[in-house]
Amino acid sequence: MNAVDYLRISLIDRCNFRCQYCMPEGAELNYVLRQQLLTDEELLRLIQEVFIPVGFTRFRLTGGEPLLRPGVIEIVRAIAAFPQTQDLAMTTNGFLLAGMAQALYNAGLRRINISLDSLDPDTFDQIIGNRGRSRWQQVWQGIQAAYQVGFDPLKLNVVVIPGVNDREVLDLAALTIDRQWHVRFIEFMPIGNSQLFGDRGWIASEELRQRIRDSFGLTESQVRGSGPADVFQIPGAKGTLGFISQMSECFCDRCNRMRLSADGWLRPCLLNEGNQIDLKTPLRAGTQMAQLRQEVRQLLAIKPEINFKQRESGTTGAYSRTMSQIGG
């Protein structure tokens, strides 16, 4: 069993996009009020006095859209400065990235994942739920800025949706040929929105791999990620292709992560809503940090059980939080 040393931290549950797979259309989301969010001080204290002491050394900042969080550069700088921090990454939609990439890099961020579900501006706007001016160009500029600043690896996340963007799989894969970019195809997950695409659901990663294999060839990459992606490469390409197959292939035995929501709930498994613990309320009530550490240790101890035995309990029923509220 992997050591669980990787914490995904949601900085905010708001987003400037409404991607259908993340925020179902028509769903009225109750955003966390600002006073219910962990403050910068509370978040950093939890990292330093609870998560690092129990073994977390790698952190990823998510949302919602993390670049909407006020003071995000300072948060990055503070986490990067902890001597125990071995890795600090961010997942963003890239819309605000062009103007912030250099500052984020200077603050200590080194790895970045940017969501890019389509190379076609119209399809892109359909997926992100945009009704006004196209946002594709600004996201593309954010990707270019991150690349020029020196983020490595630069990863592009693609949620593949049948009948919407699956015809672009080859074009997206081809981005890795001449650039040291890492494109990751993610099976659509019906979390909080199981009715969204009806029976179209998701496309198994193996089917996508076969399409790419038929066109370009495909080899298993020498690069091995630390997460759930199976990594491949088009022969001779500078970048890699990753496949995250949470629907067609179980990777619970490789799971090394937990998730902290913007309002302070620690969630041990994305696909299971059980066993979450509230850290914010006891923190604000003055509970001793040793007590919080003990609670997190207990959760770490039972995580393998949560991963495996209750894997189905989350995906069949209704979720109380959408993906955007979990921190994706």
Q: 63 among the known binding-site residues? A: no
Binding residue per annotation — 248?
A: no
221 is in an annotated binding site: no
Ranges of H-type helices in the chain: 40-46, 72-81, 101-107, 121-127, 136-149, 169-178, 205-216, 280-284, 289-309, 311-316, 323-326
Query: Is there a binding annotation on residue 19?
Result: yes
Query: H or E segment at 158?
Result: strand 154-160
Q: How many residues does the chain have?
A: 328
Strand partners, 61: 9, 90
Q: Determine whether the annotation assigns residue 1 to a binding site.
A: no
Q: Is 250 annotated as a binding residue?
A: no
Residue 60, marked binder: yes
Could you tell me which residues are beta bridge partners of residue 155?
Answer: 113, 182
Does residue 255 contact residue 6 with C-beta atoms inside 8 Å?
A: no
Residues in Cβ contact with 72 at an 8 Å cutoff, skipping those fewer than 6 apart: 11, 61, 66, 100, 104
Tokens of 11: 């900085």
Q: Is 8 among the annotated ligand-binding positions? A: yes
Q: Is 259 part of any known ligand binding site?
A: yes
DSSP string, 58-110: EEEEESS-GGGSTTHHHHHHHHHHSTT--EEEEEE-STTTTTTHHHHHHHT--
Q: Is 15 annotated as a binding residue?
A: yes
Residue 184 assigned as binding residue: no
**Is 319 among the annotated ligand-binding positions?**
no
Q: Tell me if 10 sits within 8 A of 257, measured CB to CB.
A: no
| 270, HSE (Cβ side, Cα atoms, 13 Å) | 22
CA dist., res. 299 & res. 307, Å (int) = 12
Name the 3-class secondary structure at 239: coil
- Strand order, beta sheet including 87-92: 219-220, 230-233, 240-244, 181-187, 154-160, 111-115, 87-92, 58-62, 6-10, 257-260, 265-267, 277-278
Q: Is 91 known as a binding-site position? A: yes
Note whether 223 and 232 are within 8 A (CB): no
| Residues flagged as binding site for [4Fe-4S] cluster | 15, 19, 22, 252, 255, 269
User: Which residues fall in the annotated binding site for GTP?
Assistant: 8, 60, 91, 155, 257-259
Which residues are known binding-site members for S-adenosyl-L-methionine?
Answer: 21, 64, 115, 189
Q: Which residues are annotated as a binding site?
A: 8, 15, 19, 21-22, 60, 64, 91, 115, 155, 189, 252, 255, 257-259, 269
